[in-house]
Amino acid sequence: MAQGQKTNRKLIPQAAQAMEQFKWETAGELGVQIPQGGYMGDLPSRVNGAIGGNMVKKMIAAYEQSLAQGQQPATPQVTNQNPTP
């Protein structure tokens, strides 16, 4: 692995299980057949990208909805603590 690259880690570790469930729900909404065992590495990148892209769309929509309702959701600090040189 190249220097500066990290494995995929959750910024909020307590949300890991909920994010995993969110991924499966989004995949199901898109009609993606979840492989037995949950390993999605054999799926084309286009399919996995569609799942991730739709997850982002849904998260942005939820944030915008809360703003439209006059709520100011908490925004965690997620800036990279170790910027690459």
pLDDT digits (tens, 9 = 90+) for 34-59: 888 888 888 899 999 999 999 999 99
Residue 80 has pLDDT above 70, yes or no: no
Domain tally, the chain: 1
Higher pLDDT, 49 or 6: 49
Distances (CA, A) of 42 to 19, 26, 66, 69, 73: 20, 18, 36, 41, 37
Whole-number pLDDT of residue 72: 83
Q: At what angle do helices 16-29 and 45-68 cross, to 10 degrees?
A: 110
Residue 65 lies in a domain: yes
Task: Determine contact, residues 51/41, Cβ cutoff 8 Å.
Answer: no
Residue 31 has pLDDT above 80, yes or no: yes
Q: Average pLDDT, stretch 68-78? A: 81
Residue 63 lies in a domain: yes
Residue 31 lies in a domain: no
Residue 26 lies in a domain: no
Domain boundaries, position 59: 44-69
Residue 37 lies in a domain: no
Residue 55 lies in a domain: yes
Mean residue pLDDT of the chain comes to 84
